[in-house]
Amino acid sequence: MATNKMIIEERSRDIGDFLVGRLLPFRKKRQVGPFTFIDHMGPSELGPKHYMDVDQHPHIGLCTLTYLLEGEVEHRDSTGAQQIIRPGDVGLMSSGRGVSHTERTPLALRDARFTLHGYQVWLALPKEKEEMEPRWDFVSANELPRVCRDGMSMTVVAGEAYGLTSPLPVHSPLFMVDILADQDTVLDIHAQLKGEIALVVTEGKITSGSDIIEQGQMMISKTEDECRVELLKGTRLLVFGGEALPEERFMHWNFVSSSKDRLKQAADDWKHRRFPVVEGDDTYIPLPGS
């Protein structure tokens, strides 16, 4: 493997009735810019008696970003937000000082058969915003900026890239771009993206030098702003990253913080039911080990 990149295999994990593939964190790389955690959902065939149902659970110090390629998910949280997320939409929950939420298959799809495929991403908040008021932001697929260039269709999901800015409010300099190759082409990142850079292959494969990165793998560039890859027609990528946060981030279960003491406090608060709750939902995922 060339020394200017790292290739990471997706690792499966079970979340009840649903399997997801984890790409971040990885033992040799804990974050890419502010991106702290990346789960690949599916593609999974869902249908009667087999849904996505993630009961009420908490977060602090981070944003959860949900981006779907297929299917639908209903998001509800303790800010009062209730939103069905469909392919190409993006939802961002900024947890700040504390929020609870659920993710479920919408009621209208509970008797249907469908494929669910997408990504859930955690973004660490800057230190000065770790205790911000929780909020929910949503941008529909038709509101996201798109451009066609060099044989590729590019959608800027979050942040700034290739001269475009997503309307999704974010809290630090970052980017997340959905790229589809309409023909065999070359993606040159030089002078287009700033900060740490990672590429996730969602369909097809890419080549970088002598390396082949296939569906389900992630490549991280070890040199800022220096990355050039070849895409076969039909290949789809998610490119993400941004400026690294200056302070180290610590994780415990669903919590992210620059302070280990704050993680302990959040765990105690959830254990003793001191978090805000989703209205009308009495489900509760216990703190692991409690």
- Asked whether residue 191 is domain-assigned, the answer is yes
- Say whether 127 sits in a helix, a strand or coil: helix
| Range of the structural domain that residue 170 is part of | 5-242
How far apart are alpha carbons 171 and 120 in whole angstroms? Answer: 17
- Alpha helices, DSSP H only, in 76-214? none
* Mean pLDDT of the 194-212 span: 87
The amino acid occupying position 241 is G
Percentage of the chain beyond pLDDT 70 is 88
Domain count for the chain, please give it: 1
Tokens for 21, please give them.
């593939």
- Say whether 109 sits in a helix, a strand or coil: helix
Predicted local distance difference test score (pLDDT) of residue 218: 80
- Asked whether residue 255 is domain-assigned, the answer is no
Tokens for 182, please give them.
């309409």
Contacts of 239 (CB under 8 A, 6+ apart): 161, 175, 176, 177, 179, 187, 189, 193, 197, 198, 199, 200
Number of helices followed by number of strands (H, E) in the chain? 1, 25
Q: pLDDT at residue 225 above 80?
A: no
Ordered DSSP codes for 227-261? -EEEE-TT-EEEEEEEPPPSS--EEETTEEES-HH
With the C-alpha atoms ordered 31, 37, 42, 43, is the resulting torsion angle positive or negative? negative
Q: Output the domain CATH number for residue 121.
A: 2.60.120.10
Predicted local distance difference test score (pLDDT) of residue 290: 75
- Asked whether residue 190 is domain-assigned, the answer is yes
Contacts of 260 (CB under 8 A, 6+ apart): 250
- Asked whether residue 42 is domain-assigned, the answer is yes
pLDDT tens, position by position, 6-53: 655 554 444 344 334 445 555 555 688 999 888 888 788 998 888 899
- Asked whether residue 46 is domain-assigned, the answer is yes
pLDDT tens, position by position, 113-131: 999 999 989 999 999 999 9
- Asked whether residue 273 is domain-assigned, the answer is no
- Asked whether residue 285 is domain-assigned, the answer is no
- Asked whether residue 69 is domain-assigned, the answer is yes
